[in-house]
Structure 1
Amino acid sequence: MADTVADLRSDTHTDWRTYAPLELPPILAHALDSFVERGYHATTVRELARRVGVTVPALYYHYANKQAILVELLFGSLDSVLGRCRTALAEAGDDPVDRFSALVECVVLYMTHRAPLAFLDTEMRSLEPDNRARYVALRDELEGMLREAVRDGVTTGVFTTPVPVDAGRAVLAMCQAVAQWYRPDGPLTPDRIAERYVTIALDAVGHRR
């Protein structure tokens, strides 16, 4: 498998709120477009090679198969958002409200700035069993960050939800869904959407203002 490109690594950002335009190698860029437009199973290797402008053997030189391309995109995307969330948590400090708010903002910003990559999460079902298990473990780490922030907020009395685990899971699902409807030419900027979702998320966990 080819080395993961810079846009798909956890350590490439200097500011977790700032995004440069997404740049992917041609194979990954065209695969992402096709997977989003047509779905993983409807995209053939032959069609992908035609889109890229290479022969099928040339494509196989870089990636063993179509599954390897999906793995590169899905794991790279999740690795990137996890890296940004870890940075956001480190900057937020110990206050549960600050940590929770930073995580929600970070996830929503990723869902908007990297919407096609984030939308590809729906193709998790297309991963082979071993790959799916590894991917789910990484997703669990992201959910765990939110769950811990909610639980700490309940412990300190700033969050009043009686179901912190379910609340954290629901908030994450709500944030991830942004990638399904966000459009760059829409009326709200990513920053404004993130701001609104922080407000909604704090209400969802029963924040004592």
Structure 2
Amino acid sequence: MAATGRIGGDGLGARMRAARIERDVGLRQLAQQIGMSPSSLSEFENGKSLPGAERLQALATVLGVQLDLRPPEPTGQRFEDWRDFERLDLTPVFRAALDVFVEVGFHGATVRMVADRCGLSMAGVYYHVESKDALLTALLQEAMAELISRCVSADAEADSPAQRVTNLVECVILFHTYRQASAVLASTELRSLDESGRLRHLQSRRKVREIIQSAVEACRDDGRVGTVPATSTATAIVTMCVAVADWYRPGTSPSPREIAKEYADLALAMVGA
């Protein structure tokens, strides 16, 4: 999630600066026109801050620049091996938001709590993100993007239907232990998303289940006979894996790899039961 919360993504500030210079508009002149301070506008042009949507639209209107305010599609954390989990690459604001949301719940959290946790003023937080809702949406979208990406990689690595199920269960277990905070947030705060964010989150969940369902169906085609439909079996497998995030305790619970092996055996038994 290195890009989450990155300011001036895709060089937006630099493009605005170029448009301003091309139109021979001074920094102070433009700042006065749109109701910003010259220092804030300079920070934006240099990629250090990001104004709210209304200010961005005002800038685009004054400079005659086309502006697409749709958020970029999340790409998830980058990884070389789906089994390896490095520390989440989060900006201080998003790291603080993740910790605070998990500790006190989204509705109990405030932007001031996030600001205090990461050592910024509230204005400093708003330089990086426009609202508390935007923080939650970005965190959940990036978490699901990473999980899906790892599942696709784990699935592609398998050389048999049974190995597909084994890899996928291991992948989901490892995610829900090594990314426990993100996993807990994704499980508990669906209700806090707006309608658009909730639909996207549900689509991501469905994608994970469909990947696992495909592996279950491949096992059935390969000779494993089960009386429970593949859809229900896949849903049950996902449900038991996701629940690990609720009880896993680093240092006291079995290791993530041990849990993954045990749950993979359970899943294969479910596929043929």
Same fold (TM over 0.5): yes
Q: AA paired with 1:31?
A: A
Please say if residues 82 and 150 of structure 2, whose CA atoms lie closer than 8 Å, have aligned partners that are also in contact. yes
For residue 111 of structure 1, the aligned residue among 166, 176, 179 is: 176
Question: Looking at CA atoms only, which structure, 1 or 2, has the larger radius of gyration?
Answer: 2
Could you tell me how far 1:177 is from its partner in structure 2?
0.6
Please say if residues 150 and 159 of structure 1, whose CA atoms lie closer than 8 Å, have aligned partners that are also in contact. no
For residue 144 of structure 1, the aligned residue among 202, 206, 210 is: 210
What's the TM-score once normalised by structure 1's chain length? Answer: 0.91
Q: Distance in 2 between matches of 1:110 and 1:24?
A: 16
What is the count of residue pairs matched by the alignment? 204
For residue 232 of structure 2, the aligned residue among 147, 161, 166 is: 166
User: What are structure 1's unaligned runs of at least 5 residues?
Assistant: none
Q: Structure 1: which 4+ aligned runs deviate by more than 6 Å? A: none
Partner of 2:120: 54
Partner of 2:146: 80
Partner of 1:14: 80
Could you tell me how far 1:124 is from its partner in structure 2?
1.3
Please say if residues 82 and 171 of structure 2, whose CA atoms lie closer than 8 Å, have aligned partners that are also in contact. yes
Q: Indicate how the Cα distance of structure 1 residues 161 and 10 shifts in structure 2: closer, same or farther if over 3 A, else same.
A: farther
Matched ranges for 1:1-209 at <5 A:
3-4=3-4, 9-10=75-76, 12-93=78-159, 95-121=160-186, 122-206=188-272
Could you tell me how far 1:119 is from its partner in structure 2?
0.8
Percent identity reads: 38
Please say if residues 11 and 80 of structure 1, whose CA atoms lie closer than 8 Å, have aligned partners that are also in contact. yes
Higher-RCO chain (CA-CA 8 Å, sequence separation at least 6)? 1
The Cα offsets for residues 78-122 of structure 1, whole Å up to 9 and x where unpaired, read as 1111111111111113x2211111111100011111111111112
User: What are structure 2's unaligned runs of at least 5 residues?
Assistant: 7-73
RMSD: 1.9
Q: Distance in 2 between matches of 1:90 and 1:73?
A: 26
Please say if residues 143 and 172 of structure 1, whose CA atoms lie closer than 8 Å, have aligned partners that are also in contact. yes
